[in-house]
Amino acid sequence: MSMAHESRLESGISQLPRIPLGVHPTPLEHLSRLSAELGGPPIYIKRDDLTGLAFGGNKTRMLEFSLADAQAKNAEVIVFGAAVQSNYCRQLAAACAKLGFELHLILRPEREIDKTDIQGNNLLQRLFGAKVKILDSNDRPAQQAVIAEYADKLRADGRRVYVPRRPDTVDLDVIAYAESALEIVRQCRKAGIAPAYLYTTAYDTTQAGLVLGTKYLESGIHVRGITPIGGPAAERVQRMVEMTNQAAERLGLPI
C-alpha cells in the first residue's frame, strides 16, 4: 500500500468544491456475534447509515460534492427524479432545505400504492419542502424525458437550474466513495486488519468509487457489488468503468 497514493488522492479531493453535510468518518464496526455464528473470517460493517443527514445514507457523501458544484454554477433550483421511495431524494430534499435550494422531484411509482400513499421517504421529502410530481408509470426513459422537459421549462422562465448526476458530473458521486475507500483503508490500518473483500449493496457510483479508491491505494481489497435492480450486468459494469475513469481523470490519477 502506497502512502504517497493516499496523499495524492486526498490532495486531489481537497481541491474540489465541497459543502459539509455529513458526519465523517463513519464507524467501522466489528460484527463479533455474526462472525462467530457464521464461523468464518471476521466481518466488519461500514456504518454509512450514520452520515447524519435526514437519517443518513450513502448519498450524503455524494451531495457534498454535487450541490457544491450546483452552488459554484450559481444554481437556485434543483430538478431530479427517481423512485417514489428513493433514499437519494430523501437526502437530497434535506440537503436542499439546509442550503436554500428549491427542489423539484419527478418521481416514478414502483407500486400502485405509491401514487396515493404519502409515507416513508415520500412523506419526508415533502416535509423538507420538495415540490413533488408523481408520474403515472414506472418507466425510467419516460421519466428522464419529463425531467429534461421540466428543467428546460424552468430555464425558459429564467430560473437557474441544476440537474444532479448528469453525464458530465456523475463522477463527483464516484469521487465521494473513492474518499470513503480512503477512510476505510485508514480505519482498517488503525484496527490492525487487512480485509480481502468489501461488499456493497449499492452498485453504480458507490461501487465505482470504492473500486477506484481501493485500486489506486493498492489496498488488496476486492470490491463486490450486489444490486436488487435487474438488467444486463455487462452494461452496468461498462457504465461503472466509464464513471471510474472519468473520476480518475478529474482527480488526475493515473489509472
What CATH number should be reported for the domain holding residue 124? Answer: 3.40.50.1100
Are residues 211 and 151 located together in one domain of the fold?
A: no
**CA angle, residues 137, 67, 20, in degrees to nearest 5:** 130
Would residue 86 show up in a list of annotated catalytic residues for this protein?
A: yes
Q: What is the rounded distance in angstroms from the CA atom of residue 56 to the CA atom of residue 94? A: 10
Instruction: pLDDT band for 1, please (50, 70, 90 cuts).
Output: low
Q: In this structure, are 148 and 188 located in the same domain?
A: no
- Using CA atoms, how far residue 48 sits from 6, 63, 88, 112, 222, in Å, is 21, 14, 13, 31, 19
Catalytic position from the list 7, 14, 35, 86 = 86
Total tally of structural domains belonging to the chain: 2
67 part of a folded domain: no
In contact, 89 and 126? CB cutoff 8 Å: no
Question: Does 141 lie in the same domain as 80?
Answer: yes
- Tell me which of 141, 159, 177 is where a domain ends: 159
What integer pLDDT is reported at residue 201 of this predicted model?
85
CA distance 169 to 62: 11
pLDDT in tens, 97-117: 999 999 999 999 999 999 999
- Residues 84 and 140 placed together within one structural domain of the fold: yes
Whether 193 is covered by a domain: the verdict is: yes
**What are phi and psi for residue 32, nearest 5 degrees?**
-65, -40
- Residue 172, CB-side half-sphere exposure with 13 Å CA sphere: 25
Q: Decide if 53 is inside a domain.
A: no
Q: Is the pLDDT of residue 229 over 80?
A: no
Residue 150 belongs to a domain: yes
Same domain, 107 and 130: yes
Closest to 173 measured CA to CA, from 13, 5, 10 = 13
What pLDDT digit, counting tens, does each position of 21-51 carry? 999 999 999 999 999 999 989 999 999 999 9
For 162-186, what is each residue's pLDDT tens digit? Answer: 999 999 999 999 999 999 999 999 9
Burial 193-215 (b: 16+ CB within 10 A, else e): eebeebebebbbbbbbbbbbbbb
Q: Based on the fold, state whether residues 152 and 189 are members of the same structural domain.
A: no
The answer to whether position 164 is within a domain reads no
Answer yes or no: do 143 and 175 share one domain.
no
Among candidate residues 135, 159, 183, the one where a domain is terminated: 159
Of 133, 159, 185, which closes a domain? 159
Percent of the chain surpassing pLDDT 70: 98
Asked if residue 154 and residue 174 are part of one domain, the reply reads no
Q: Would you state the pLDDT for residue 237? A: 87
Strand (E) or helix (H) holding 131: strand 131-134
Domain that holds residue 211: 3-46+169-251
Say if residues 133 and 84 touch (Cβ distance below 8 Å). Answer: no
CB distance 221 to 199 below 8 Å = no
